[in-house]
Structure 1
Amino acid sequence: MNKLNRTLMPVLVLVLMLSITISGQAEAKKRWEKINIPQLNEIKMPSYERVALDNGMIVYLAEDHQFPLVELSASIDVGSIYEPADKIGLAAMTGEVMRSGGTETIGGDALDELVEARGMTVETWIGQSEGGAYLSVLKEDTRRGMELLADILMHPAFPEDKIKLAKEGQKAGISRRNDDPMSIASREAMKAVFGADHPMARHAEYATIAAVTRQDMVDFHNRYFGPNRMYLVVIGDFNSREMINLIESSFAGWASVTAALPADPEVPDFPRTVNVVDKDDLTQTTVLMGHKGVRADSPYYAGLQVANRILGGGFASRLFNEVRSRQGLAYSVGSSPGTGFRFPGLFMAYTMTKSESSEKTTELILAEIQKMLAEEVTAEELEHAKDGILNSEVFNFDTKREILDRMVMFERLGYDPDFLQQYQQKVQNMTAAQVLEACQAVWHPERMTILAVGNYADFDGDFSTFGPVNMVDIEIPEPPLDIPAPTAESLAQGKAMLEAYAEARGGLKKFQALKGTREVMVLDATIQGMALNFTIEKTVLYPDHILTMQKTPFGNVVTSVNGDTGWAQGPQGMQDLGATDVQKIKAEVQTEGIGVFRNLDTLACQALAPTEVDGVPCLPVHVSDGDDYQIFFIDTTTHLVKMVQAPGVSPMTNAPVTEKLYVDEYADMDGFLMPKTIRITNDDEPFATGTFQEFEANPKVDMSIFAKPKK
């Protein structure tokens, strides 16, 4: 008996514990189930009126008297897909300057002041395949706001100063476009999938921005902006009949556009390519893979939305659970379904993983996609995905404007007005078999083009397992310089003029005999509206020892090149210079003033057409070492340089600028005629003035000044 008790007691204890646990779980579940979770609100169409005006404009109106506000959004049939290939950026800048530049009756700055004073919002823009405008005003300012918006859309002024500002913004964006790996991957993936010259993949360059003129903007606006190309959605505290009258009077006289819209660009369906952007400064790889998808009017649209929710559409997706949670290969991973309303979408998967797992992670993602084509999803996955889509749609359309903006899109692109309701019903009735059918019809992992951005040398494989690898060059082309092809005569004339310039300053042989120089300059610059003072001392021992010490308002900065190595020290600490930076500093010394004299026989010196600088006849001489260039504008009487033009970088935006250095005065310094006072402009805008305070030829220098300081 005691033995039996000893045997049964542990069993009884276990059974009792299990029963308590199960009872507790059941009770917990029971308590949870008692929580009354209300059904989410249905997406209900607001009460609205659609009116077609005599001028062709389509207006959707929905009165809402809860607050004394009026909100208007316009959709316009225009986009960057229509801009010329040699002027990419035209559309975006046109949309920007329409608002920033004001109109023929009110300038952009005055418009800003008025809008701010009245608490209005007035905006315009042009995207890839649609333009838009937005107005938000108090009820009492409705008439003034509508008249302003109409004036902007009908009579934009396009002033040159605002065009220049828009170009600077575009150039700044170009200069920074390789800063973020995901931005690189997104941009280059579109080019790999659609083709580099496709209107949906191409992007602005310095040359295309420079090519855009004010007349281009005027012509682009005239061709694409008209009442018959515009849809208006108006929501707020107004009377619909009075609002229609106001719209008609505000836009009175606006002529319709007669030219037909160009045909939409065809979206190609290329075979897979494998592409790598090699950036050796990265420790993480960004991978995008994708191929052409379908439009939203495809019978597989709803099925693909559900499938994508299961594959990579959230924290409960297969990709997230397998790639991130189970295998720990990535922090970010996901997918998009490959659907679009106007154009076929891009079926895509993406991840960011450490360099050493780049190929493994890519293989794993492709395998997960293949599983979606091999068998039906589970009932639990299906219900979770359907609930997620239906619930999220409510929040995507929780305002009247969002709903009516979507109605406008449906009308513009030829979809049924009740497309959204049809879609919701299809999702609600979706079966696992239909999801599988959609995946098998549209998703083809073996055709997905692959693009990886990372340190290729550290990859766990060379990606050739996916196909032949293309190395993608993302170097940003420099702004073009339009000069004629050199001739033997122009090269001889250019060299002779530079020799005369050297003689006027002390003699070519004296300059070529220099072993080193030291100079001190004080520079007064204006940066972002702030007047700043810099003292720059530069010591050079030819050909490869350069020390530059700058005293700035933000602290001292020292840069040194010591042969093939270099270092820099500033307020943020010490760092070594890379080989590229070292070579760049050495090249600058060889192609600036004295360096040109020392290397005259190795440089291409091409005389250009005569011109004037500040009213003085000059002969420009283009000097280049094959990479960098400068143009010396030499006074044909004194043989002294009046101005030097060279490529520079804006200290505000880091974008390329044309830098011009004007020499206003020369002075005798240590046996040489040296520039004394100078002016510097960036893109012809004043930037700085400077005075050379000291110049020393062949200075006595302690070589230790070039060495990196010890810690």
Structure 2
Amino acid sequence: MLSSKNMLVAASAAALLCGCATATVSTDAPKAATQAGELALPSVSIDFEKFVLPNGLTLIVHEDHKAPIVAVSVWYHVGSKDEKPGKTGFAHLFEHLMFNGSENYPGEFFAPFEQVGATSMNGTTWLDRTNYFENVPSTAVDLALWMESDRMGHLLGAIDQATLDEQRGVVQNEKRQGENQPYGMVWERLQRASFPEGHPYRWETIGSMEDLNRASLEDVKNWFGEYYGAANTTLVLAGDITPEQARAKVMRYFGDIPAGPPVARREQWVAARTESTRDRMQDRVAQTRIYKSWNVPPFASEDADLLDLAAKVLGGGRTSRLYQRLVVDESLVDNVSVSAEPFELASLFLVTADVKSDADPKRVEAIIDEEMQTFFEQGPSVEELNRAKTSIFAGLVRGAEEIGGFGGKADLLASCQTYTGDPACFETSLDTTRKASPEAVRKAARTWLAQGDYTLTVSPYPSFETVASELDRSAGPPQVDNFPSLGFPALQRAELSNGMQVVLAERHDMPLVEMRLQFDAGYAADASGFGLGTASFTMAMLDEGSEGLQAREIAERFEDLGAQFSADSGLDTSEADLSALRARLPETLALFAEVVRNPAFREDDLERLRGQWLASIAQEKSEPMGLALRNLPPLLYGEGHPYAMPFSGSGTEESITALSADDLRRFHQTWIRPDEATLIVAGDVSMAELKPLLEKSLGDWTAPAQAAPLKSIPDVAAQAKPRVFLMDRPGAQQTVILAGQLAPSSKAENSLQIQTMNSILGGVFTARINMNLREDKHWAYGAYSFMPGALGQRPYLFYAPVQTDKTAPAIKELLGEIRDYIGSKPATEAELDKIKAKDVRSLPGKFETLSAVAGAVQSIVTYDRPDDYIDTIKQRTEAQTLSQIRAAAQQIITPDQLTWLIVGDLSTIEKPVRALKLGDVILLDAEGLPQP
């Protein structure tokens, strides 16, 4: 592993002051263990160069030409910890304001990025930082830099009272939406209880309603001036760009932005505690959940890395001590997890356990304490520690497959630079992880599960200056008129000796292989003589034990191999997914085959999962959206239809309670069979290498003697008139509005035009519905329309969670948008051009990861699309006409046949909803049954 070196290069006054650092982009071969506990893992490093502009802005460049895209990541070193009591929520409020237009671009920030096909685009705020990021085609870097620099250096003139009020309303709806969820008030209480008076982590990042209401225009402008200067900013460019190109562009767009005033930095303040404290609260939840937390050392410290290992051993997965003790052995909880949550000044070590309804929370707490005490005394075993190390390494490698987004290379470099001044700090953490001994982890856990002080030091602030720029910002952002073409792997097909189909998309940029073994089953197969939820439950049981391995052994082996396994069902298909390290592919495939082919369906494993499953159904029923999606499909499709079930696929309490091991074996034998399976593979392997491995592991899997079953998915006639179903959630701060109807199958000839038609109405951020209910009215955090894929008729859903007192007006606005779209305000040429441009120009960034490639191939297989579907989607998208889009809207949208399902506080909303006279109103109870 190469360490990074900082070098100051003297230059003329007008030139760049450069602190360059380099490291090697690699996952080098494993090195031998050198001391007790050290695991032979490859080193991981990211090649970069670091520059500091004369105005103090830090630029980090990582060159990666695997795809013609560039990740742009801007990190401001300011978060909610920089606020003061009585003025909380400012950092997060400014995140929203910075998406609302700047002095030289007064429109929605997303709009030009949609036009160039940006992906992974977002902004987030947390305790210590605010960041913005997007992936753009390499030809659109100038556009992205212009937009980012304009809102950094030219924002205040665009913020007026109306803008502040609008985004204040959006943020408050986001807060309501979060607090409306089960356990939604926990973090506010947890932070206040964990940190003492005066500590900057005592309040939630989103702030209080009172502070948001009090925020004046002068307040927010002062906040911006204090923290959003160039010297408080890190900019990372990662992808299809050279350091020389990046440096020149960043100088042009950012070089004339002032450094900003000196920022007082808080010292690390762990505030470790010496006594136990207790608190309790009530909420509308399905089961008791226990949180236990400790204040521990901050991000990138050695002990923080050691505690991360401790967390994984104690509760980081199914092989962990607490999971085995509480879930498997004593069946007291449905889920338990342990995590180290890293922050800049201090971190939290957090244990969370969901207690079964018939279990004693005190007993659960006692077991957690027992296991912690045992860990303090004995520490982890070498096997446990090595498994945790492999998990951390594999997670980092998978994250670094992406250049941007959450956990990608730009994210790693920016976070390390912002918090430590060293973009490669993750290398040090990984080295600490690699070398950690059981005794070191035990000692760190014993030391920190409780301690701190607060000190402020003032040091000289460096002298900064701006540089002159010839940029004429009045001309607006740079126009992007050429875009990179899409590069998608050619599909290779093969057939195993048992008839199993194999489709390979070969790509060698990362040492990973992604597999999806897809079966013709899915939720719809439940209708062939099985109870609701059988398909999903059967797939979930695959890794709960095979004929030769117990559940824990399966989990241990996958973790030892650095692999990830999951299995699930959708409406029409069931699948087993595998992500494997290339170097361990033969062993991983053998384990994968054992799990998929030979599930044991043992009674004790079945009962354990059944308890968790029933708890998840109870959770669905406690969530507004969960209630809606459980009850709307049966209303849309009608009794007896294979799709008339909760769209989570979880089934009902009655069907899951009645499920037996013989039912699971029968479903597996009937539907999970090689002659009706397709294995989709993407990644670092050729067909010549792959097929012999598959023949060895899956080729001798024989199909049952009986013929494969056929599913019948009948069409459903449209509703004769609209219907309104109301479900009560007393005290809810928000109302969830769902309106649905049925649309043609995903295999429809005009499915692309249907998708585009929906994008204009409600499928993207700047679509009509969201612009109305979020941006214009600010009654909702987001409002959309969407169509899940299906071989039969798809559900076409309109979704709007709104503040309770705006329920009826929001329904009226939503229905007005729907009616206008097929009436007086049909899709326009400008709207169509916007969506076509967005869809085409985002193609290069859509398939950066192997998971995305495999997903695209899976859609080709599922919906019988040609192998060149992705290669030709650009020309088909561009060829769409306005008449086709308007025809699709007329074909599908029928506002007078909608089924409305509205979940909220009926004491407040029922009368106004009835007054709208949408249709017959029916009250449903929590089980979805009509009330008298």
TM-score > 0.5 by shorter chain: yes
CA contact (8 A) 2:498 2:700 kept: no
Q: Secondary structure at the match of 2:515?
A: strand
d(CA) in 1 for partners of 2:795 and 2:473? 45
Counterpart of 1:262 (choices 710, 714, 717) is 710
1:98-139, Cα deviation, whole Å (9 max, x unpaired): 1121x2222221122222223222333333321112223333
Specify the alignment match of 1:210 in structure 2.
657
Contact 1:72–1:235 under 8 Å retained in 2: yes
What SS does the aligned partner of 1:296 have? coil
Mapped partners of 1:370, 1:448: distance in 2: 12
Q: 1:380 pairs with 830, 843, 854, which one?
A: 830
- Indicate if the aligned counterparts of 2:617 and 2:652 stay in contact, CA closer than 8 A: yes
Q: Could you tell me which of 865, 869, 878 is aligned with 1:415?
A: 865
Instruction: Kindly provide the amino acid, as one letter, of the partner of residue 474 in structure 1.
Output: A
* 1:424 equivalent in structure 2: 874
Q: Which string of whole-angstrom CA distances, capped at 9 and with x for unpartnered residues, describes residues 453-494 of structure 1?
A: 1122322242561111111111489xxxxxxxxxxxxxxxxx
The alignment yields a C-alpha RMSD, in angstroms, of 2.9
Query: Is 1:326 aligned with 2:776?
Result: yes
Q: 1:111 to 1:352 in 2, by over 3 A?
A: closer
Deviation string 1:572-593 (CA, Å, 9 cap, x unpaired) is: xxxxxxxxxxxxxxxxxxxxxx
Gap runs ≥5 in structure 1: 1-24, 478-711
Q: Which residue of 1 aligns with 2:553?
A: 110
- Displacement of 1:92 in angstroms is 1.7
Distance in structure 2 (CA, Å) of the matches to 1:143 and 1:241 = 14
**SS of alignment partner, residue 620 of structure 2:** coil
**Structure 2 residue matching 1:340: 3-state secondary structure:** coil
Could you tell me how far 1:447 is from its partner in structure 2?
1.1
* Residue 58 of structure 1, CA deviation: 0.8
Q: Residues 243, 363 of structure 1: CA spacing in aligned structure 2 closer, same or farther, 3 A cutoff?
A: same
Q: CA–CA distance in 2 between the matches of 1:208 and 1:160?
A: 17
Q: CA deviation at 1:214?
A: 0.9
Structure 1 residue 169 corresponds to structure 2 residue 612:
yes
The CA deviation at 1:283 is 3.3
SS in 1 for 2:782: strand
Matched residues in 2 for 1:44 and 1:278: separation?
50
1:369 aligns with 2:812: no
Deviation per CA, 1:71-103, whole angstroms, max 9, x where unpaired?
3221122222212576222222211111121x2
Structure 1 counterpart of 2:493, one-letter code: R
TM-aligned CA distance change 1:346 to 1:475, over 3 Å: closer
Aligned residue among 454, 470, 475 for 2:922: 470
CA 1:124–1:226 in structure 2 vs 1: closer, same or farther (change >3 Å)?
same
- Where 2:516 maps in the other structure, the secondary structure is strand
Q: CA offsets per residue over residues 42-95 of structure 1, 9 Å max, x none? A: 333314421122311111234444444333221122222212576222222211
What are the within-5 Å matches in structure 2 for residues 5-84 of structure 1? 27-30=472-475, 32-33=477-478, 37=480, 39-83=482-526
Post-superposition shift, 1:266?
1.7
CA gap of 1:119–1:384, structure 2 versus 1, over 3 A, is same
CA distance in structure 2 between the aligned counterparts of 1:246 and 1:370, rounded to whole angstroms: 56
Tell me by how many angstroms 1:411 deviates.
Answer: 3.1
Indicate the SS of the match to 1:332: coil
Match of 2:892 among 430, 433, 442: 442
CA drift at 1:213: 1.0
Task: Tell me which residue corresponds to 1:96.
Answer: 540
Shift of 1:341: 4.5
Residues in 2 aligned to 1:421 and 1:70: alpha-carbon distance in whole angstroms: 22
Letter in 1 for 2:832: L
Q: TM-score, normalised by structure 2?
A: 0.45
Letter in 1 for 2:822: L
- CA deviation string 1:276-319 (max 9, x = no partner): 11222223221111110112333442332222222122332222
Q: Which residue of 1 aligns with 2:667?
A: 220
Quote the Cα distance in structure 1 between the aligned partners of 2:573 and 2:763.
27
- Identify if the C-alpha distance between structure 1 residues 288 and 64 changes in structure 2 by more than 3 Å, giving closer, same or farther: closer
Does the CA-based 8 Å contact 2:524-2:642 persist in structure 1?
Answer: yes
Where 2:518 maps in the other structure, the secondary structure is strand
1:265 alignment partner AA: I
| TM-fit CA distance, 1:27 | 4.5
Q: Greater CA deviation, 458-467 or 419-428?
A: 419-428
How far off its partner does 1:327 sit? 3.2
Against the structure 1 CA distance between its residues 316 and 58, is the aligned structure 2 distance closer, same or farther, given a 3 Å change threshold? same
Partner of 1:294: 744
1:676-691 superposed matches below 5 A? none
Query: Counterpart of 2:679 in structure 1: which amino acid?
Result: L
Q: Deviations over 1:131-174 (max 9, x none)?
A: 11222333332221111111122211112221111101111012
SS in 1 for 2:737: strand
Distance 2:579 2:775 in 1: 45
SS at match of 2:917: helix
What is the deviation of 1:41? 3.5
For residue 666 of structure 2, what is the amino acid of its counterpart? D
Distance in 2, Cα, partners of 1:302 & 1:67: 32
Give the secondary structure class of the aligned counterpart of 2:730.
Answer: coil
The answer on whether the counterparts of 1:355 and 1:458 sit within 8 Å (CA) in structure 2 is: yes
Q: Which runs of structure 2 are paired with 1:181-200 in the superposition (5 Å)?
A: 181-200=624-643
Determine the structure 1 residue equivalent to 2:392. Answer: none
1:452 maps onto 2:902 in alignment: yes
TM-score norm. by structure 1 comes to 0.59
What does 1:496-515 align with in structure 2 at a 5 Å threshold?
Answer: none
Question: Are 1:196 and 1:202, in contact at CA under 8 Å, matched by a contact in 2?
Answer: no
What corresponds to 1:603 in structure 2? none
User: 1:233 aligns to what?
Assistant: 680
Q: Indicate the structure whose relative CO is greater, using CA pairs within 8 Å and at least 6 residues apart.
A: 2
* Contact 1:93/1:163, CA 8 A, preserved across alignment: no
2:582 to 139, 148, 153: 139
Give the 5 Å matches for 1:601-640: none
CA distance in structure 1 between the aligned counterparts of 2:740 and 2:510, rounded to whole angstroms? 46
Query: Unpaired runs of 5+ in structure 2?
Result: 1-469
Distance 1:303 1:463, change over 3 A: farther
Alpha-carbon displacement from aligned partner over 1:546-588 (angstroms, at most 9, x marks no partner): xxxxxxxxxxxxxxxxxxxxxxxxxxxxxxxxxxxxxxxxxxx
Aligned partner (choices 570, 573, 598) of residue 130 of structure 1: 573
Paired with 2:680 and 2:598, the residues of 1 have a C-alpha distance of 21
User: How many residues are matched?
Assistant: 451
Amino acid of the structure 2 residue aligned with 1:32: P
Q: Which amino acid aligns with 1:296?
A: S
Q: What is the CA–CA distance in structure 2 between the aligned matches of 1:325 and 1:264, rounded to whole Å?
A: 43
1:283 aligned to 726, 733, 738, which one?
Answer: 733
- Report the Cα distance in structure 2 between the residues aligned to 1:253 and 1:282, rounded to whole angstroms: 55
- Aligned partners of 1:446 and 1:408: how far apart in 2? 35
Structure 1 residue corresponding to 2:531, chosen from 87, 90, 113? 87
Report which of the two structures shows the higher radius of gyration computed on alpha carbons.
1
Identity %: 24
Say whether the 8 Å CA contact 1:72–1:136 is kept in structure 2: yes
Q: Matches of 2:679 and 2:576 in 1, distance apart?
A: 9
Q: Per the alignment, in what secondary structure is the counterpart of residue 178 of structure 1?
A: helix
